[in-house]
């Protein structure tokens, strides 16, 4: 087995790593030293010569060096990661898989004190306020470190090594946790093969005496057996309710029925409900949790790509009415969201491909790296290519898109941002997430929600937003072309739709995103979005017409 040590500068990775390796007669690999040896310079010099960007690229090469993790129950290698290496999702994928990750934790004040006496200056904390700098690094990195086992790195070296030995003496978890974030909108745990184990752990943390699970047959058939076995092993009785598959789960009558079942089970206020499934199941079970006893905690285990990168995050819950989708709902933040990227392997290709429409939107909001991963691997992810799951591309797409949603929601939990002229993704607040959705929703509604999946409609909406943006001077032509080229590559939004422009226009008029009576358009800019409410109707009409099949004389589409 490999032990990987992570933690902030000054947390003792080198000293503890060396001692642990010596005790086990195992090699010690300090990735910072590997970088220095390859460059023939100290890290501080690399920073000053090449900047952080240069250092990070050298670090990426060093991270790949150790290759695959060693197996077995004895410590074969001890590896110390540079403190910031694990921020990069691909580095974490390479470093964490198959390894026992130990987080050497320590209070920022104590770490600053240690670093003051260190012969080895750390560039990122070398300024006039080292404690503030360490606090900044801690808040940016803690979720990555917290995926490992936490040990107090400030204790005497021998006792830290003892603590690590106790941890490795227990059989390791089977999956890989890639981050574990405690946020104002719930705990969010992300990884591969982690679903059953983290669910049991989360229910334990919440003091649950049983697992009240709501799922649906399409998801439960794949993920249910392993979850049932884990609950069984933990001695947690399972109470399972299955909703119908897909949008049929979002019916008010079903909520009444399910609430009665909870009442029969004498479910109390603090007892958590667990929602296991796609976006439809999560919306419906979320609404049940939001309203039963005026709110009980909910843990989401999203099993589709839409649910993992979008619907399980943000606390929006809803059911449909015959008059329209999502008309009855509530905001209800989950206690936890457990995202297991392995669940996506069994999804039908069309579901994965469509959901990538949302990922393209997240990239367009300003994540250049997400753009390039989608350009490189998006098609393979959509097709369920094993290599795209094995090399970390799929995990990186989910992590980046999901975390972008977390940050947007945290900044604007109840959609209060996005004034009529908000410039930049941050200023647009949660409204930024509406990029591509005005036309997307109108197209979905015009098609009676039957022809296109949501992400497929969003892809058309993104094309529409790009074209409107270019027309009104908000979107540089090159940016619009990059977004549309990516959609082409993914096979999204291809071909014109056989819908009536009048019907699409009518649904656009019903869009909820109005201010002062005018539709607020979220349009791409060179590196984010702008909100504009001065888009002439003639421009919208022309762009919408370009997405639809030209109607023949006498056709019902006219």
Ligand X SMILES: NC(=O)c1ccc[n+]([C@@H]2O[C@H](COP(=O)([O-])OP(=O)(O)OC[C@H]3O[C@@H](n4cnc5c(N)ncnc54)[C@H](O)[C@@H]3O)[C@@H](O)[C@H]2O)c1
User: Which residues of this protein are in contact with ligand X, per CB under 6 A?
Assistant: 216, 218-219, 222-223, 245-247, 250, 277-281, 283, 303-304, 306-307, 310-311, 314, 316, 325-326, 343, 346-347, 351, 454
> Given the complex with ligand X, which of 457 and 543 has the nearer CB atom?
457
Which residues are within 8 A (CB) of 114 and not within 5 positions of it... i.e. 6 or more apart?
Answer: 10, 106, 154
> Given the complex with ligand X, which of 98 and 246 has the nearer CB atom?
246
- Least distance to ligand X, CB of residue 229, Å: 17
Q: What distance in Å separates the CA atoms of residue 86 and residue 189, rounded to the nearest whole number? A: 16
> Given the complex with ligand X, which of 303 and 434 has the nearer CB atom?
303
**DSSP secondary structure of 262-279:** HHHTT--TTPPEEEEESH
> Given the complex with ligand X, which of 155 and 252 has the nearer CB atom?
252
- Least distance to ligand X, CB of residue 166, Å: 36
What residues form DSSP beta bridges with 508?
Answer: none
CB 100 within 8 A of CB 2: yes
Length of the chain: 558
Query: Cα 310–315–320 angle (5° rounding)?
Result: 85
What residues form DSSP beta bridges with 179?
Answer: 190
CA distances from 122 to 17, 214, 222 (A): 18, 49, 47
Helix (H, G, I), strand (E, B), or coil: what is residue 84? coil
- Token pair, residue 20, equals 């642990």
- Report the residue closest to ligand X, judged by CB: 218
- Least distance to ligand X, CB of residue 460, Å: 16
> Given the complex with ligand X, which of 153 and 277 has the nearer CB atom?
277
- Least distance to ligand X, CB of residue 11, Å: 37
- Least distance to ligand X, CB of residue 515, Å: 21
- Least distance to ligand X, CB of residue 397, Å: 16
Nearest to 233 by CA among 201, 280, 278, 263: 201
> Given the complex with ligand X, which of 223 and 273 has the nearer CB atom?
223
The phi and psi torsions of 225 (rounded to 5 degrees) equal -60, -45
Q: What distance in Å separates the CA atoms of residue 320 and residue 264, rounded to the nearest whole number? A: 25
> Given the complex with ligand X, which of 353 and 532 has the nearer CB atom?
353
Q: What distance in Å separates the CA atoms of residue 280 and residue 344, rounded to the nearest whole number? A: 16
- Least distance to ligand X, CB of residue 181, Å: 18
> Given the complex with ligand X, which of 66 and 277 has the nearer CB atom?
277
Taking the CB of residue 356, how many other CB atoms lie within 10 A of it? 29
Helix (H, G, I), strand (E, B), or coil: what is residue 414? coil
- Least distance to ligand X, CB of residue 284, Å: 8
């Amino acid at each position: 087995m490999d032990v990987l040590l992570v933690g902030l500068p000054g947390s003792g990775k080198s000293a503890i790593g060396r001692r642990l390796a010596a005790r086990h007669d195992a090699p010690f690999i300090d990735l910072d030293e590997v970088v220095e040896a390859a460059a023939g310079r100290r890290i501080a010099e690399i920073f000053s010569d090449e900047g952080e960007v240069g250092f990070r690229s050298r670090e990426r090469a060093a991270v790949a060096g150790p290759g695959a993790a060693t197996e077995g129950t004895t410590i074969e290698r001890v590896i110390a990661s540079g403190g910031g290496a694990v921020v990069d999702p691909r580095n974490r994928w390479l470093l964490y898989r198959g390894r026992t990750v130990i987080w050497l934790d320590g209070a920022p004040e104590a770490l600053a004190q240690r670093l003051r006496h260190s012969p080895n200056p750390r560039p990122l904390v070398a300024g006039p306020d080292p404690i503030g700098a360490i606090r900044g690094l801690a808040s940016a990195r803690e979720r990555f470190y917290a995926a490992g086992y936490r040990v107090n790195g400030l204790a005497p070296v021998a006792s830290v090594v003892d603590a690590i030995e106790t941890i490795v003496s227990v059989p390791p978890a089977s999956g890989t946790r890639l981050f574990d974030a405690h946020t104002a909108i719930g705990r969010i745990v992300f990884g591969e093969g982690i679903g059953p184990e983290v669910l049991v752990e989360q229910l334990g943390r919440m003091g649950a005496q049983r697992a009240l699970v709501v799922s649906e047959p399409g998801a439960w058939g794949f993920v249910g057996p392993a979850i049932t076995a884990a609950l069984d092993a933990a001695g947690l009785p399972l109470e399972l309710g299955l909703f119908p598959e897909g949008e049929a789960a979002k019916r008010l009558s079903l909520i009444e029925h399910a609430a009665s079942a909870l009442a029969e089970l004498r479910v109390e206020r603090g007892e958590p409900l667990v929602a296991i499934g796609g976006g439809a199941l999560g919306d419906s079970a979320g609404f049940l949790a939001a309203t039963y006893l005026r709110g009980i905690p909910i843990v989401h285990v999203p099993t589709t790509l839409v649910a993992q990168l979008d619907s399980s995050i943000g606390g929006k819950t809803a059911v449909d009415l015959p008059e329209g989708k999502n008309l009855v709902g509530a905001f209800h933040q989950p206690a936890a969201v457990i995202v297991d990227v392995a669940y996506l392997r069994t999804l039908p290709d069309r579901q994965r491909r469509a959901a990538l429409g949302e990922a393209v939107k997240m990239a367009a909001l300003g994540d250049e790296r997400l753009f390039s991963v989608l350009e490189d691997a998006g098609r393979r992810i959509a097709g369920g290519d094993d290599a795209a799951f094995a090399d970390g591309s799929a995990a990186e797409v989910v992590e980046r898109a999901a975390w972008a949603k977390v940050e947007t929601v945290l900044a604007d939990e109840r959609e209060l941002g996005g004034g009529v002229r908000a410039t930049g993704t941050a200023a647009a607040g949660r409204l930024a997430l509406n990029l591509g959705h005005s036309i997307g929703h109108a197209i979905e509604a015009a098609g009676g929600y039957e022809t296109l999946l949501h992400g497929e409609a969003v892809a058309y909406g993104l094309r529409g937003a790009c074209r409107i943006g270019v027309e009104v001077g908000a979107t540089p032509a090159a940016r619009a072309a990059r977004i549309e080229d990516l959609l082409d590559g993914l096979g999204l939004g291809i071909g014109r739709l056989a819908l009536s422009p009048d019907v699409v226009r009518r649904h656009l008029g019903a869009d909820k995103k109005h201010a002062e009576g005018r539709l607020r358009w979220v349009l791409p800019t060179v590196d984010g979005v702008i909100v504009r409410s001065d888009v002439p109707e003639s421009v919208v009409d022309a762009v919408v017409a370009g997405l639809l099949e030209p109607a023949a004389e006498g056709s019902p589409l006219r």
